[in-house]
């Protein structure tokens, strides 16, 4: 998969302190309650986005089972993922509890949700970048399988990317 517009809008993670993280989440929560009736469209798109996301998880689980246990260089230990505004809006609109802190507090930090047995978060609660990113080993494996699933996955990830953008737009319209 290519980066498309998944590149982070800033070069360092927002809400690095726990206080800033909590404030950001409290603010979204406040707006969600305050403008609840104006946010129905955003919630509907968030639900569709969630369904689309969940539809790709079985394939991602399968490809991880085939590759990650033998990986000599696990990506989660060296990646610099973080939650962006869309990730938080997605969680709140779906009624999902945000994790306790931003994934990293500096570009040199290891993701706080990484463990020796992989990610400690459920897939649905991870930053989008963690779902969107397929490492070269996994990409190659899927492409080589030649069963069409590589193309299907790419198409679905593009749909998710677009619906995330629509969800954020609807959220901002709803609170404006």
Q: Which of 75, 57, 67 is nearest to 111 (CA)?
A: 75
Question: According to CB under 6 A, which one of 1, 6, 68, 175 is a site residue for ligand SF4?
Answer: 68
Binding piece for ligand SF4, criterion CB under 6 A, among 14-22, 29-37, 124-132, 165-173: 124-132
Task: Select 39 or 79, whichever has its Cβ closest to ligand SF4.
Answer: 79
- Closer residue to ligand SF4, CB minimum distance, 31 or 92: 92
Where does this chain touch ligand SF4 (CB under 6 A) — which range of 11-19, 22-30, 44-52, 61-69? Answer: 61-69
Structure tokens at 103: 């994934």
Round to whole Å and give the CA distance between 176 and 174: 6
Find all residues with CB under 8 Å of 32, minimum gap 6, and list them. 39, 92, 93
Q: Using the 8-state DSSP alphabet, how is residue 115 labeled?
A: E
Residue 20 as a binder of ligand SF4 (CB under 6 A): the answer is no
**Other residues' Cβ atoms within 10 Å of the Cβ of residue 152:** 14
Write down the least CB distance from residue 141 to ligand SF4, Å.
9
CA–CA distances in Å: residue 42 to residues 16, 31, 90, 153 = 26, 12, 9, 24
Min CB(158)–ligand SF4 separation in Å: 20
- Residue 21's φ and ψ, nearest 5 degrees, are -60, -45
What are the φ and ψ backbone dihedral angles of 40, each rounded to 5 degrees? -60, -40
In this chain, which of 32, 93, 130, 153 binds ligand SF4, going by CB under 6 A?
A: 130
Among 48, 67, 152, 166, binds ligand SF4 (CB under 6 A): 67
Q: Of residues 21, 113, 128, 171, which one binds ligand SF4 by CB under 6 A?
A: 113
81 touches ligand SF4 (CB under 6 A): yes
């Amino acid at each position: 998969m290519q980066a498309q517009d998944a590149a982070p809008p800033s070069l360092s993670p927002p809400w690095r302190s726990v206080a800033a993280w909590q404030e950001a989440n409290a603010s979204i929560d406040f707006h969600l309650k305050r403008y609840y009736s104006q946010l129905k469209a955003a919630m509907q798109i968030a639900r569709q986005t969630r369904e689309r996301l969940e539809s790709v998880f079985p394939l991602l689980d399968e490809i991880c089972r085939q590759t990650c246990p033998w990986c000599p260089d696990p990506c989660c230990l060296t990646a610099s993922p973080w939650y962006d505004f869309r990730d938080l809006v997605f969680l709140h609109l779906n009624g999902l509890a945000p994790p306790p802190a931003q994934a990293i507090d500096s570009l040199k930090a290891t993701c706080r949700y990484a463990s020796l047995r992989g990610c400690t978060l459920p897939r649905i609660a991870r930053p989008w970048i963690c779902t969107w990113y397929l490492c070269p080993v996994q990409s190659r494996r899927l492409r080589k399988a030649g069963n069409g699933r590589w193309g299907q996955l790419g198409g679905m990830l593009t749909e998710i990317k677009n619906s995330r953008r629509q969800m954020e737009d609807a959220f901002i319209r709803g609170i404006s």
